[in-house]
Structure 1
Amino acid sequence: MDRKASVVGLDVAAIAEYKQLHADVWPTVLKQISSCNIRNYSIFLKEPENLLFSYFEYHGTDFHADMAKMAADPETQRWWDVCMPLQRPLDTRKDGEWWAEMEEVFHHE
């Protein structure tokens, strides 16, 4: 199992909409997340900086293949089309990232 964390900004005017969307995530999107071996997925909001922090555990054997599977799913693409305009990627993210990946520097079970 691998733990993954990432961060992205959120448009201040979009906070209520983003919270509402995630209070009622489309069932097909949730099913796709699970089928791609993601468990314990959480998103936290830090205000007033308006940063979204994402955490999940990956329980598969080929992370890149599972992420490609998710990205190819039409319903997931539609979900991203709704959510991504509300987000503000960090200027410091690496090429190819939307959510900036974070390094784990401490963990305690």
Structure 2
Amino acid sequence: MTRYGSVIHVKDEKLEEYKALHASVWPEVLDRLRKCNIKNYSIFYRDGYLFSYFEYTGDDYTADIAIMAADPRTQEWWSLTDPCQYPVKSALEGEWWASMDEVFHLD
């Protein structure tokens, strides 16, 4: 199992819309996350930032993420959530949610 943390900005005027979308995530999107070996997934908010945390339990993260990205229902979901967000300044070229380095963990 690998833990992943990432960060992105949420647009002030879109925060309530973003929260409303995540108050009832589509079942197909949740199912796709599970099928792509994503577990224990949370998104937190503070001061214009969204922080995402999840655990990946599969064997090929790159392949599973590609499968998720190719899923039509997930693409439809992202067409609603992406306009609510914008990358942080330090995001790498082409990176939407910027990866974070884990500096501490306690089981």
TM-score, normalising length: structure 2:
0.98
Structure 1's consecutive aligned runs of 4 or more residues displaced over 3 angstroms after TM superposition are none
In the aligned structure 2, how far is the partner of 1:7 from the partner of 1:34? 21
In the aligned structure 1, how far is the partner of 2:45 from the partner of 2:90? 19
Cα deviation 1:47-97 (Å, max 9, x = unaligned): xx2100000000000000000000000000000010000002112101121
Unpaired runs of 5+ residues, structure 2, are none
Which residue of the partner structure matches residue 36 of structure 2?
36
Equivalent runs, 1:1-109 vs 2, <5 Å? 1-46=1-46, 49-109=47-107
State percent identity of aligned pairs: 53
In structure 1, the residue corresponding to 2:40 is in which secondary structure? strand
User: Aligned-pair distance for 1:16?
Assistant: 0.8
In the aligned structure 2, how far is the partner of 1:107 from the partner of 1:89? 25
Unpaired runs of 5+ residues, structure 1, are none
In the aligned structure 2, how far is the partner of 1:97 from the partner of 1:41? 19
In the aligned structure 1, how far is the partner of 2:84 from the partner of 2:15? 8
In structure 2, the residue corresponding to 1:40 is in which secondary structure? strand
In the aligned structure 2, how far is the partner of 1:18 from the partner of 1:106? 29
TM-score, normalising length: structure 1:
0.96
Q: Number of aligned residue pairs: give it.
A: 107
